[in-house]
Structure 1
Amino acid sequence: MTRPVVQGSIRRRLLVLLLCASAVLAVLVYFLVQSVARQVAQQSQDNILTASALSVIDSARIVDGSVMVDLPYAALSMLDSITDERVFYAVRLGDELLTGYAELPRPPRVGARGTAQLSAEFLGEAVRIAAVTRPFATDLGRNVLEVSVAQTLSGQRQTLAWTSRLSLAVGAGFFALTVVLALLIARATIQPLDRLTASVSRRGPTDLRPVNAPVPQEMARLVTSLNGFMARLEASLNRSEDFIAEAAHRVRTPLAVVRTKAEIIQRQIHKPENRKAMAEMIEAIDESSRTAGQLLDHAMVSFRLDSLPRDRVDLRALMRDAVERIRPVAEIADIGLDIPHADPATISGDAILLQSAVRNLLDNAVKYSPADTRIEISLRRDARAVRLEVRDEGPGFPPGTSAALTERFARGSNAKGVIGSGLGLTIVQDVVTAHGGRLHLDNQHGGGACASLLFPLP
Structure 2
Amino acid sequence: MIGTGSIGRRLTLLLAGVAALLSVLSWWMVTGLAREAAERTQDNVLAASATTIAETLRSEQGEVRLELPYSAFSMLGAIGEDRVFYQVMAGDKLLTGYDDLPALSDTPAPGQIAFDTGEFSGEAVRMASVSRLVLAGTQPIPVKVTVAQTRNGVGTISEDLSRLAALLSVAFFVIAVVLSAIAARTSLRPLNEIAAAVSRRGPSDLRPLHRNAPTELAPLMSSLNRLMERLGQSIRRSEDFIAEAAHRVRTPLATVRAQAEIALRSVEDESEKQRLRQIIRAVDESSRSAGQLLDHATVTYRADDLARVPVDLSELAKQTAGGLEPTASMKDIRLRLFTVYAQVAGDPVLLENALRNVLDNAIKYSPEETDVTLRITTSGTEARIAVSDEGPGLGEGPAQALTERFRRGSNTQGIVGSGLGLTIAEDVLSAHGGRLELKSAEGGTGACVALVLPLS
TM-score under structure 2 normalisation? Answer: 0.93
Cα contact 2:438–2:448 (8 A) shared by 1: yes
Matches within 5 A, 1:405-420: 405-420=402-417
In the other structure, the counterpart of 1:220 is 218
In the other structure, the counterpart of 1:250 is 248
Structure 1 residue identity aligned to 2:290:
A
Cα distance between partner residues in 1 of 2:274 and 2:139: 153
1:110-144 C-alpha deviation (Å, 9 max, x unpaired):
55333222233322333221111345677897764
In the other structure, the counterpart of 1:373 is 370
Do the aligned partners of residues 110 and 182 (structure 1) sit closer, same or farther apart at CA in structure 2, a change above 3 Å counting?
farther
In the other structure, the counterpart of 1:429 is 426
Match of 2:357 among 338, 354, 360: 360
Match of 2:15 among 1, 15, 18: 18
Partner of 2:99, secondary structure, is: coil
In the other structure, the counterpart of 1:180 is 178
In the other structure, the counterpart of 2:39 is 42
Match of 1:330 among 328, 331, 351: 328
Between 226-235 and 320-329, report the one with greater CA deviation: 320-329
Between 367-376 and 310-319, report the one with greater CA deviation: 310-319
Between 439-448 and 215-224, report the one with greater CA deviation: 439-448
1:311-347 C-alpha deviation (Å, 9 max, x unpaired):
22222222111111112112212222111x1011221
Between 41-50 and 20-29, report the one with greater CA deviation: 20-29
Match of 1:438 among 414, 421, 435: 435
Between 105-114 and 200-209, report the one with greater CA deviation: 105-114
Matches within 5 A, 1:16-165: 16-80=13-77, 83-110=80-107, 112-113=109-110, 114-134=112-132, 144-165=142-163
Structure 2 residue identity aligned to 1:23:
A
1:89 is displaced (CA, Å) by 0.4
Matches within 5 A, 1:276-355: 276-339=274-337, 341-355=338-352
Cα distance between partner residues in 1 of 2:405 and 2:78: 100
Partner of 1:432, secondary structure, is: helix
In the other structure, the counterpart of 1:457 is 455
1:228-252 C-alpha deviation (Å, 9 max, x unpaired):
0111111111122222222222221
Cα distance between partner residues in 2 of 1:39 and 1:240: 79
In the other structure, the counterpart of 1:275 is 273
1:354 is displaced (CA, Å) by 1.3
Cα distance between partner residues in 1 of 2:204 and 2:297: 17
Structure 1 residue identity aligned to 2:424:
I
Cα contact 1:210–1:231 (8 A) shared by 2: yes
1:14 is displaced (CA, Å) by 1.3
Cα contact 1:106–1:131 (8 A) shared by 2: no
Cα distance between partner residues in 2 of 1:81 and 1:188: 51
Do the aligned partners of residues 427 and 95 (structure 1) sit closer, same or farther apart at CA in structure 2, a change above 3 Å counting?
farther
Do the aligned partners of residues 276 and 81 (structure 1) sit closer, same or farther apart at CA in structure 2, a change above 3 Å counting?
closer
Cα distance between partner residues in 1 of 2:85 and 2:387: 114
Partner of 1:420, secondary structure, is: coil
Cα distance between partner residues in 2 of 1:308 and 1:191: 30
1:45 is displaced (CA, Å) by 1.3
Structure 2 residues not aligned, in runs of 5+: none
1:433 is displaced (CA, Å) by 0.9
Cα contact 1:30–1:168 (8 A) shared by 2: yes
Do the aligned partners of residues 83 and 270 (structure 1) sit closer, same or farther apart at CA in structure 2, a change above 3 Å counting?
closer
1:162-213 C-alpha deviation (Å, 9 max, x unpaired):
3233223322332233233223322221121122122212222221111111
- 1:237 has 2:235 as partner: yes
Between 110-119 and 29-38, report the one with greater CA deviation: 110-119
Between 68-77 and 58-67, report the one with greater CA deviation: 58-67
1:380 is displaced (CA, Å) by 1.3
Partner of 2:399, secondary structure, is: coil
In the other structure, the counterpart of 1:389 is 386
1:383 is displaced (CA, Å) by 2.6
Cα distance between partner residues in 2 of 1:94 and 1:15: 69
Cα contact 1:112–1:135 (8 A) shared by 2: no
Cα contact 1:401–1:412 (8 A) shared by 2: no
Structure 2 residue identity aligned to 1:26:
S
- 1:265 has 2:263 as partner: yes
Cα distance between partner residues in 1 of 2:405 and 2:308: 26
Matches within 5 A, 1:174-213: 174-213=172-211
Do the aligned partners of residues 80 and 111 (structure 1) sit closer, same or farther apart at CA in structure 2, a change above 3 Å counting?
closer
1:90 is displaced (CA, Å) by 0.9
Cα contact 2:60–2:136 (8 A) shared by 1: no
Do the aligned partners of residues 120 and 187 (structure 1) sit closer, same or farther apart at CA in structure 2, a change above 3 Å counting?
same
Cα distance between partner residues in 1 of 2:292 and 2:77: 107
Cα distance between partner residues in 1 of 2:332 and 2:78: 125
Cα contact 2:49–2:75 (8 A) shared by 1: no
CA RMSD, aligned part only? 2.2
Structure 1 residue identity aligned to 2:311:
V
Cα contact 1:244–1:300 (8 A) shared by 2: no
Structure 2 residue identity aligned to 1:436:
G
Structure 1 residues not aligned, in runs of 5+: none
Do the aligned partners of residues 314 and 246 (structure 1) sit closer, same or farther apart at CA in structure 2, a change above 3 Å counting?
farther
